[in-house]
Each structure stands twice: as structure tokens, then as C-alpha cells.
Amino acid sequence: MGELIKISNLSKSFGDIKVLHSLDMQVESGEVVAIIGASGSGKSTLVRCIAGLEPVSGGEILLDGVPVVNTASTNGKVGMVFQNFNLFPHYTVGQNISMPLRTILKMKKELAAQKAKDLLNKVHILDKFEQYPNSLSGGQKQRLAIARALAMEPEIIIFDEPTSSLDPELAHEVFETIKDLAKEGQTMLIVTHQINAVRRFASRIVFLNKGKIEAQGTPDYIFNQIDNHDLKQFLRQVNFEDI
């Protein structure tokens, strides 16, 4: 364990609209941090800043002690899994993993193919190796996206609403894969409204409200102990079940 991400006095604006307000946050290696909050609260903006996809307006993000200013500055330590999969439709399932390994890491073809097979087996879609992404279900596409992110061996994987476009059964498949990664000690940040799923393996919950961190702590603290009006109202809106 050790501090992997340190965020200090972070702010982000788009023109005259301030989206993030003076955020302070740390993420330890091996933590699974779920970021929750209403639409427009700044969740996706926060993780995009951490990944170097958005420049910050003020403050600082350190990744292993190095300032994050763009994707290059993360030095391959951050993997990103998006809501809309971002797969290569003209590559087979196997090639979606092996081609980046060959082009970015200069891995030999045979080694890249074997690593792709190992990762597809890990997310339970090895039988789709020779197929194309358009033949997969939404849940299978997202598991392929997870495997592709894992291929680069990042220190942290960020999930930005990974199941928001999936029906409950397919969303469950994806969360089972994420849960397995949590058991293996993979550091993860997960932006999600699927609170009943993520609460079972998240080590910490961060509640973002109007661009500010309004509450954070263990799932038990956030859902059973803290008395916060905005948090309770949000949980009612997303049909949170206290089970």
C-alpha cells in the first residue's frame, strides 16, 4: 500500500462554468474508490482530469509523485474504460487487445496474441477471440474493453459509468469482472450510479455534489452512519436499497 494519487486544491472550469471546486483527495494503491453523485456533479470531469484527458484549471494532481498534465504524463499508468466501449470495429476481439500491444509496447505478434487470449480468458470471452466487436453483447463489449485496459498493465483503472448503457443482467456480468479485479488488488476508480452493485466491493465511497466532495468513507459509513441531506436525497433518486 502507498499513496498512488494525490489531488490538491483541484478546480476545473469550462469557460465561465466552474465544474470542480477546490478538491482534495488521495487514492492508495489497492483501493477501489466508487465516485457517486447526481448527473452534472463533476464525476466524469474529475476522472478525466486524473487520466490526463482534461487539463486542470487550478490545483494539482500527482500520480506516483509526478504531476498529471496530459495523457503522456501518466506514462501508461492509467487505464480508462468508457461508457461507450471505444473498441476498434475493424479489428477482431483478439486484435483489439494484441494490436495496441504490438504498436505501443512493440510486443512480438505471437506473444501479443497469447496475452490477448490470457486476458480474454480472464474476462470469460476467450471463445470470441476470432469474432468482431459488432457480434458481441453490450456486456461482452465492456468486458473486452476491460481486458484491453488490463493489457497495458496500468497501476490504476478508471471506469466512467461502465454499465449505464447496459440492461441489469449485462451490467451484472461487468460488475462481476470488476469485483474479481478488486479481489486481485487492482487499484480502481469507478464512476457509477449502480450503487447496490459497487458497494459490495468498494473500499471507499466518494459523494460528489455540485463539484465538491461532500462526503467520503467506507460503504458502511456512507450508507448507514452519515446524516447528510443531499446524500440521502441522491440515494432515493437512484433507488438505493439498504440491504
Give tens-digit pLDDT for 143-170.
999 999 999 999 999 999 988 888 888 8
pTM of the shown model: 0.91
Whether 77 has a pLDDT exceeding 90, the answer reads: yes
In sequence order, what are the residues at sequence separation of 6 or more whose Cβ sits closer than 8 angstroms to the Cβ of residue 164? 83, 192, 193
| pLDDT attached to residue 41 | 93
> What pLDDT, on a 0 to 100 scale, did the predictor assign at position 243?
39
Residue 206 has pLDDT above 50, yes or no: yes
Question: Where does residue 176 rank: exposed (0-12), middle (13-18), buried (19+ CB within 10 A)?
Answer: middle
Residue 228, amino acid: N
pLDDT value at position 242?
52
Q: Among 91-95, 107-111, 210-214, 234-238, which stretch is predicted with the lowest mean pLDDT?
A: 234-238
189 pLDDT exceeds 50?
Answer: yes
Reply yes or no on whether the pLDDT at 241 is more than 90.
no
E strand residue ranges, 98-228: 156-160, 187-191, 204-209, 212-217
Is the pLDDT at 239 greater than 80? The verdict is: no
Residue 118 is which amino acid? D
CB count, 10 Å around CB of 167?
11
Q: What percent of the chain has pLDDT over 70?
A: 98
- Mean pLDDT to the nearest integer, 38-45: 92
CB-count burial class (<10 Å; 0-12, 13-18, 19+) for 148: buried
Query: Is the per-residue pLDDT at 208 higher than 70?
Result: yes
Q: Angle at the Cα of 4 (from 52 to 234), degrees rounded to 5?
A: 75
Strands (E), the chain: 3-14, 17-28, 32-36, 58-63, 66-67, 78-81, 156-160, 187-191, 204-209, 212-217
125, pLDDT greater than 50: yes
- pLDDT category, 91, cuts 50, 70, 90? very high
Mean pLDDT, residues 51-64: 94
DSSP string, 189-206: EEE-S-HHHHTTT-SEEE
Residue 241 one-letter amino acid: E
- The pLDDT mean for the chain works out to 92
| Burial (CB count <10 Å: 0-12, 13-18, 19+), residue 130 | exposed
pLDDT, tens digit, 9 for 90 and up, residues 17-28: 999 999 999 999
To 10 degrees, what angle do helices 168-183 and 138-151 make? 20
CATH 3.30.565.10 fits 3-88+138-237, yes or no: no
pLDDT band at 240 (very low <50, low <70, confident <90, very high): low
